[in-house]
Amino acid sequence: MDFQLGPEQRALRDGMRELLAGRFGRERLRAAVEAPALDRALWRELAEAGFFALRLPEADGGVGLGLPEAVLLMEETGRALLPGPLVACQLLAGAVDGVATGERIVALAETAVGPEPGAGSGLPPGAGAGPYPGAAGDGPLWEHPADCDALITLGDAEGADPVDQGRAAGAYRSAATDVLCAPFASVDPLTPLARITGIVRKTPLPLDVPRLRREAALLTAAQQLGSAARTVETAVAYAREREQFGAPIGSFQAVKHLCAQMLVRAEIARSAVYAASVTEGVLDVTAAKLLADEAAVRNARDCLQVHGGMGFTWESDVHLHLKRAWLRAARWGGVAAAEEALAAGLIA
């Protein structure tokens, strides 16, 4: 299987990297840390570049490309630490009006199964179901609640892991004003969170939820891959520049080995993510997410070590990569569930 990018794929990747470098450089990144509201102008610019409509058919105004190309673009957003519910908007561009054009922003959240819309109220579906039970203290998290126009919830938390394909699940749409939530402290300053405490109204959506979860896991893995690759570049650049005892620290064996291991992790994750985008297999996606999570988190930590720990200070961007990697690692399937699924797949 050949995973070398074709000329059009390289042009697509390079174009997105150039766009993000021009519109979301370091100054904009640091400004977003202080004021994490999403840049609607940039969102629309992404839409004009075909980011959200990438996989929609050309007859519907889309670009007509596939999952491998979506992975390439998500990798670039991970490199740039671009905030926002990018995965959700990529996946729901054809399901929610205005998302493909950047006019509306939607988020995805996995919830426990609540009452069916209208259940027990005597109202028709979607006409006013009450808050679902059991969500007050342990409700799911909602990213960028203040910036979203709608929230898409995926029912049955037990089916949250991409490997649990057999469990019943459903997708529901709610307007942002119909979702009750409470502020929740986020480890990532660029990703505001809220705890969902109830949903006043929700409408069923005819979506393939297992596929949605699987693709969300893969696109999140692509973002982790981008972050892992970026921290390799950051560490190597610093190791070449910083001198100790009259020589660049990159010439010291301990630092050299650290950087080499970072590159190995990133390239192994890249192979797994690219392969899963072609096969779309459940276990392939699970393995790709597991490897990309490990690469993003451990590379960010090693990058801090190369920087002599200065990455823990507010001035460095390295801590932002680590915090975002932690956040993404908790989405769409955890480490333990992924390892169990892969082990079961080996003996099946």
Domain span(s) for CATH 1.10.540.10 in the chain: 7-103
Whether residue 334 has pLDDT greater than 90 = no
Select the CATH number that applies to the domain covering 210-347 from these four: 3.65.10.10, 1.20.140.10, 3.40.630.30, 2.60.120.10. 1.20.140.10
* Rounded alpha-carbon distances, angstroms, from residue 183 to 28, 113, 191: 25, 22, 12
Q: What local confidence, expressed as pLDDT, does residue 1 receive?
A: 61
Q: Which residue is listed with tokens 């001198």?
A: 243
Q: What local confidence, expressed as pLDDT, does residue 2 receive?
A: 67
Q: What local confidence, expressed as pLDDT, does residue 121 receive?
A: 32
Task: Write out pLDDT tens, residues 241-295.
Answer: 999 999 999 999 999 999 999 999 999 999 999 999 999 999 999 999 999 999 9
Domain span(s) for CATH 1.20.140.10 in the chain: 210-347
Nearest-angstrom CA–CA distance, 84 and 148: 9
pTM score, whole prediction: 0.88
Q: Which fold has domain 7-103?
A: Butyryl-Coa Dehydrogenase, subunit A; domain 1 (1.10.540)
Q: What local confidence, expressed as pLDDT, does residue 51 receive?
A: 96
Which of 36-40, 57-61, 76-80 ranks highest by mean pLDDT?
Answer: 76-80
Q: What local confidence, expressed as pLDDT, does residue 318 receive?
A: 92
Nearest-angstrom CA–CA distance, 266 and 270: 6
Q: Structure tokens of 311?
A: 């990455």
Nearest-angstrom CA–CA distance, 291 and 285: 10
Q: What local confidence, expressed as pLDDT, does residue 126 receive?
A: 34
Average pLDDT over residues 129-148: 68
Task: Write out pLDDT tens, residues 78-127.
Answer: 999 999 999 999 999 989 999 999 999 999 998 754 333 333 332 233 33
